[in-house]
Amino acid sequence: MAAPAGAAPGPAAPIPGSASMIGVPYAQRDTVRIGIIGLGNRGASMASGWAAPPGARIDAVCDIRADRATKVAAALEEEGHDRPREFGGEDTSFQDMLDEVKLDLVYIATPWEFHYAQGKAALLAGANVAVELPIATEIDEMWDLVATVEQTQNHLFLAENTCYGRNELAMARASHGGLFGDVTSGAGAYLHDLRGLMFDEDYYTDHWRRTWHTTHNRSFYAMHGLGPIANAMDINRGDRITTIRATATAPRALADYRERFMPEDHPSWADTYIKGDLITCLHDTDKGRVIRTEHDVSSPRPYSRINSLAGTRGLLEDYVPMGDSGARVYVEPDHADDVWRSFDGFRDEFDHWLWQDVGEDAENNGGHGGIDYLLQWRTVQAIRLGLEPDIDVYDSATWCAPVPLSEESINQDGAVLAMPDFTRGQWSTLRQGIDSERKEMP
């Protein structure tokens, strides 16, 4: 492998009096007081799930469009919960909420460009923070969030629901259990045809998501696939990503869709798309592993996160029509005649306790097949028991760093770039992550 073309952006200096949050549990709370910032499609759809786990209580909701806060507050009240306080109408309303309501957890589901400032403000207000993807859009912002977490001793994490998929959790446990031998490579992705939604006038507020395709050529959602692979490889828990390089195809699919389906007076005709339809990143690790991630939301294709893991004794491939799991394996000593077998039996063997204990509830109450609710339930449980978070700020920054770094690499013709070490050298310490021990909800 070629040496990195440039050094990774330097770490933010630790704030005097701060300390690492690696291995630090949540401050225990019997009741988890929750506030939500951002009540568009994602935030509104998650509100009921945040109110559902035992011991959780939504005390405040906020959106720049005040009517959304009123609508969500009323819906929670109709479900039998205490009506939360409502904030909205101004771009500073979230700060009013943080100033006026004491919260243990703030969930942020606003457009991407607001995540960093709102996440930092919530930390400084004394709350733990769950942020939708990404936690920030630039490397210096990610370093600042790490520093602010260490300063405040409150946790901030990426609300990466894909890490709680049944196959993804079983894959991590199978990896730790040695099923694939010495793991050497993995692949993950966010491949999702969003053209119809991006050109819809109402779905994305102020068509914010389409606008990003006119301003940046980067892998916006690599963490959807990177997170589960990182968990299976113990990234930041014994290994670390050292370099990244990226390539992009030409940006043709959105313009083609517009040409065929959008009327002449549609506002998208003012757009010039620069984000490549498919962006592919290769990440190298300290232990010599390679992770491939892909991002494409502009092309006609079935949904896939790829979710593949390979090692010296076999491999797994997800998103294939095989068995109940929709995944296949080829592992020693059971492979023969170049024939795949279903992952079903191994998934049962390595099934994560969260799916065994909460899976039925999650499938009945949560979006995306239950993974949203499992993330919410587990977060509330971890705070109520005073446990370490499954995903911490160091993981979150690592998984989000490819967003800006992919663009930098593409702009340098696919140059190999160094990845920041957000742990400041503590990545080699073996510690528990999402492959956790079974715990009862208080």
Taking only the tens place, the pLDDT of each residue in 306-343 is 999 999 999 999 999 999 999 999 999 887 788 999 99
pLDDT at site 334? 80
pLDDT at 367: 86
Q: Residue range 120-131: average pLDDT?
A: 99
Which residues contact residue 401 at a Cβ distance below 8 angstroms, ignoring those fewer than 6 apart?
139, 142, 244, 419, 420, 422
Q: What is the pLDDT of residue 366?
A: 77
Q: Which residues contact 236 (CB under 8 A, 6 or more apart)?
A: 230, 394, 395, 398, 422, 423, 427
Q: Residue 109: name the closest of 164, 193, 49 by CA.
A: 49
CB atoms within 10 A of CB 261: 12
Predicted structure pTM score: 0.96
Q: What is the torsional sign of CA 372, 209, 186, 116?
A: negative
Mean pLDDT of the chain: 96
Residue 128, SS3 per DSSP: strand
Q: Which two tokens stand for residue 95?
A: 């700060």
Q: What is the mean pLDDT of residues 78-106?
A: 99
- The model's pLDDT over 417-438, given as tens digits with 9 standing for 90+, comes to 999 999 999 999 999 999 999 9
Q: What percent of the chain has pLDDT over 70?
A: 98
Residue pair 239/427 in contact by the 8 Å Cβ criterion = yes
The confidence score (pLDDT) of residue 207 equals 94
pLDDT-derived band at 1, boundaries 50, 70, 90: very low
Q: Please determine, for residue 48, whether its predicted confidence score (pLDDT) is greater than 70.
A: yes
Specify the pLDDT at position 67.
98
Treating both helix axes as pointing N-terminal to C-terminal, what angle do 223-233 and 166-176 enclose, rounded to 10 degrees?
Answer: 30
pLDDT at 335: 78
CATH number of 166-353+397-418: 3.30.360.10
Q: What is the pLDDT of residue 190?
A: 98
The residue-averaged pLDDT of 53-61 equals 99
User: Region 122-129: what's the mean pLDDT?
Assistant: 99
How confident is residue 9, by pLDDT bands cut at 50, 70 and 90? low
| 3-class secondary structure, 415 | coil
Whole-number percent of the chain with pLDDT over 90: 93
Closest C-alpha among 305, 294, 285 to residue 398 = 285
pLDDT higher than threshold 60 for residue 122: yes
Report pLDDT for 5.
62
Residue 68 reports pLDDT greater than 50: yes
- The whole-number average pLDDT for the span 167-194 is 99
Confidence of residue 10 (pLDDT cuts 50, 70, 90): low
Cis preceding-peptide flag for 333 (omega within 30 of 0): yes
**Backbone phi, then psi, for 365, in 5-degree steps?**
-115, -15
Mean pLDDT for the stretch of residues 251-267: 98
Q: Indicate the residue type of 43.
A: G
Parse the chain into domains and list their residue ranges.
Answer: 166-353+397-418
Q: CA 194 to CA 196: how far, in whole Å?
A: 6
CB atoms within 10 A of CB 94: 28
